[in-house]
A and B are shown apart, each in its own frame.
Chain A
Amino acid sequence: MKLAGFLLLLSGWVIVLAAIALLPAGFARGAFLMAGVCVEALGLGLVVRAHMPEPPGRQEQR
C-alpha cells in the first residue's frame, strides 16, 4: 500500500506537469491541474494509512 501511495503521488505530479507543458491556459488546464492534485491527495492518503499502526483489536485477531 505504501508503494502504491508513493506511485500515486508521482502520477499526480506527472499529470500536473503534463497539464502545464501540453495545454494552453484555460479551463482544460485548470481541470487537469485539479485532477493531478486529487490523485496526489489519494496517494498521500494511502501513504498515511500504510504508516498507521494496526488497531489493537486487529492485532489480537491474528
Chain B
Amino acid sequence: MGPPALSPFSAGICGLLMLLIPFSYAGLALMNSGLGRSRSAVHSLMASLTVIGVATLVFVICGSALQGFPGRAAFAIAVSGKPWNWIGSGRLFFGGLDFDSGSRPALAACFGMFAAALTAVIPLGAGEERWRLGAAAASTAVLAGWIYPLFAHWIWGGGWLAELGFVDAGGAGAIQVVGGLSALSVSWLLGPRRGKFSADGMPIALPGHNAVFVTFGAFLALVGWFGVNSSGAILFYGAAPARTALIAVNTLLSAASALLAAALVTRTRFGKPDASLSVNGWTAGLAASSAGAAFQVPAEALIVGLVAGALVTLSIEWLELHLKIDDPGGSISVHAVGGLWGLIAASFLGRFPGAAESQWTAQLVGIATLVGFMFPMIYGLNWILNRITPFRVALDGERQGMDLHELGANAYPELISHLEDFSQR
C-alpha cells in the first residue's frame, strides 16, 4: 500500500513549490558559465539547456516508469525471506498517472522530471570547456533514463533503502551525490584542460570570465533549492505544507553559514575572501541542506552549513593540487562532498518521521551504496559512452574555444580571443 493521497491544498502547494526548481538550473548554469573562460561561455549555457531538454525527454519516456512510487508496480527479489524492491515497473510516458486529483505518484513523477534535469546540469561544471555537446547529451540520456531513476526508486519509490529507513528528503543523495559522482567520472574521462597543469604537475589558475554570473547564480540557486527541499519533504516524507517555512529557514541558514565559513577559511589562508570559493561554499551548503532541512532545527542546519562551507574549500584545493583533477565549476566538491556530508549529518542531526531504529546504519548503507555501487556504475557507463562517442573535443576546439568550434559563434564577438593564455604542452 502506498501513502495516502495529498489534500488538494497540499497538492497545490507542492506543485507550486516544484515550479521553483528550474531556478536551480538557471543558478548552476550561470555559475558554470561564469567559472569558465569567455571563449566557451555560450556553449556552457547551451549545454545546460541541452541536457535539461534531454533529461526531461528521457525521464518522461522511461525514467519515471523505473523510478515508480510506493505501492505501485515494481520488481522485487527475495533474499533470506525478505523482499528487496529494486526497480519500478511502471508505464512509459507517464502512463497511468492521474494528474487531476493531486495523487502522490503523479506529483512524484513531475518532481522526478525536474530533479533528473537538475542532476544532469551538475556534471557540466566538471566538463567545462572540453566536453562535446553531443557527448554530454548522450551521457545525460543514460543518467536520466537509468542512473537517477534507479537510486530515486531505492529511496523514494518504495525501494530497499527506503525500507531500511534511509532519509534524503531533498535529494542530497539522489540528485547532488549522483550528479557529483557523474562529474568526477566525466572529469577523469576527459582529463584536464590544456594548460591547466604545468610540466611539473603544478596547477595553473585559469580564472573564470564573469564573477557576476557566478554570484548571481548563487541567488537563483537558493530559490530553486527552496523548491526542491520543500516539495521533496511534502511528497516523500509527509511533511505538512506549513513546514515549508522551517525548510526555507534551514535551507537559507545552511547556505549562509557555508558561505561565511568558506569566506573565513579563504580569508585566513589567502588574506582576502575568495569570491568563487565562497560561492562554491554557498552551493555546498545548499547541497548539504537537502538531506534533512525539513527535519532539523535551525541550529542544526547552521552546523550542517558551517562544516559544508569549510569542507568544500579544502576539498577543491585538495582535488586540484594533490589529485590533479580539473573541475572548473567545483561540481565534485560542491555536490558530491557537500551532499555526502549532508547525508552523514542527517544520521545524527534531526528528528525524522518513522525513522529507523538506528538512523546511522541506514545512512551508512545509503552512502556505501552511492560510493560502492552507483559510482562504479556511473563511471562504467560513461567509460563505454566515451568509447562510442569520444567525450573530449578536438585540440583545435580547445584552442578556438567551444563557442566557435561547436556553435559557430562567440558569446562576446567584439572581444579578441586571448590565445596567449593557451599554453601548449
Q: Which positions in A face B, CB cutoff 8 Å?
A: 6, 9-10, 12-13, 16, 20-22, 25, 29-30, 33, 36-37, 40, 43-44, 48, 51-53, 55-56
6 A-B residue pairs with CB within 8 Å: A9-B375, A16-B364, A20-B361, A33-B364, A48-B323, A52-B324
A56–B200 CB distance below 8 A: yes
Distance to closest chain A CB from B20 (angstroms): 35
Residues of chain A lying within 8 A (CB to CB) of residue B368: 12-13, 16, 33, 36-37, 40
Residues of chain B lying within 8 A (CB to CB) of residue A44: 371
Which of A9, A33, A56 is B376 in contact with, Cβ under 8 Å? A9
Which single residue of chain A is at the shortest CB-CB distance from B79?
Answer: A21
Task: Classify the interface of chain A: helix, strand, loop or mixed.
Answer: helix
Flag B172-188 by CB within 8 Å of A: 1 or 0 each.
Answer: 00000000000000001
Is B9 an interface position by the 8 A CB rule? no
Is B357 an interface position by the 8 A CB rule? yes
A37–B80 CB distance below 8 A: no
Which single residue of chain B is at the shortest CB-CB distance from A20?
Answer: B365
Within B365-413, the residues touching A (CB, 8 Å) are 365, 368-369, 371-373, 375-376, 379-380
Given contacts A21-B82, A25-B358, A48-B323, contact A33 B372 (CB under 8 A): no
Given contacts A25-B358, A51-B188, contact A56 B199 (CB under 8 A): yes
Which of B80, B164, B371 is A40 in contact with, Cβ under 8 Å? B371
The list of the 4 closest CB pairs from A to B, nearest first, reads A13-B372, A16-B368, A40-B372, A6-B376
Which single residue of chain B is at the shortest CB-CB distance from A48?
Answer: B323
Whole-angstrom CA separation of A18 from B65 in the bound complex: 28
Is B96 an interface position by the 8 A CB rule? no
Whole-angstrom CA separation of A14 from B423 in the bound complex: 46
Given contacts A37-B364, A37-B368, contact A53 B357 (CB under 8 A): no
B357–A25 CB distance below 8 A: yes
A6–B323 CB distance below 8 A: no
Residues of chain B lying within 8 A (CB to CB) of residue A25: 357-358, 361
Distance to closest chain B CB from A19 (angstroms): 9
Number of A-B residue pairs at CB separation under 8 A: 62
Residues of chain A lying within 8 A (CB to CB) of residue B361: 20, 25, 29-30, 33
Which single residue of chain A is at the shortest CB-CB distance from B197?
Answer: A53
**New contact pairs (6) apart from A6-B380, A13-B372, A36-B368, CB-CB < 8 Å:** A13-B369, A16-B372, A20-B164, A51-B323, A52-B324, A56-B200
Whole-angstrom CA separation of A52 from B80 in the bound complex: 42
Residues of chain A lying within 8 A (CB to CB) of residue B82: 21
Given contacts A16-B368, A37-B364, A53-B324, contact A6 B379 (CB under 8 A): yes
Residues of chain A lying within 8 A (CB to CB) of residue B197: 53
Whole-angstrom CA separation of A30 from B368 in the bound complex: 13
Whole-angstrom CA separation of A13 from B365 in the bound complex: 8
Distance to closest chain B CB from A48 (angstroms): 6
Distance to closest chain B CB from A49 (angstroms): 9
Whole-angstrom CA separation of A25 from B79 in the bound complex: 16
Whole-angstrom CA separation of A36 from B357 in the bound complex: 21
A13–B201 CB distance below 8 A: no
Residues of chain A lying within 8 A (CB to CB) of residue B199: 56
A13–B373 CB distance below 8 A: yes
Residues of chain B lying within 8 A (CB to CB) of residue A36: 368, 372
Residues of chain A lying within 8 A (CB to CB) of residue B357: 25
Distance to closest chain B CB from A34 (angstroms): 8
Residues of chain A lying within 8 A (CB to CB) of residue B201: 53, 55-56
Residues of chain B lying within 8 A (CB to CB) of residue A55: 201
Within B188-214, the residues touching A (CB, 8 Å) are 188, 197, 199-201
Whole-angstrom CA separation of A9 from B364 in the bound complex: 15
Flag B335-350 by CB within 8 Å of A: 1 or 0 each.
Answer: 0000000000000000
Distance to closest chain B CB from A52 (angstroms): 6
Residues of chain B lying within 8 A (CB to CB) of residue A56: 199-201
Whole-angstrom CA separation of A10 from B375 in the bound complex: 9
Distance to closest chain A CB from B402 (angstroms): 24
B373–A10 CB distance below 8 A: yes
Whole-angstrom CA separation of A28 from B20 in the bound complex: 45
Whole-angstrom CA separation of A51 from B84 in the bound complex: 35
Within B68-104, the residues touching A (CB, 8 Å) are 79-80, 82, 84
Given contacts A33-B364, A52-B324, A55-B201, contact A16 B371 (CB under 8 A): no
Residues of chain B lying within 8 A (CB to CB) of residue A6: 376, 379-380
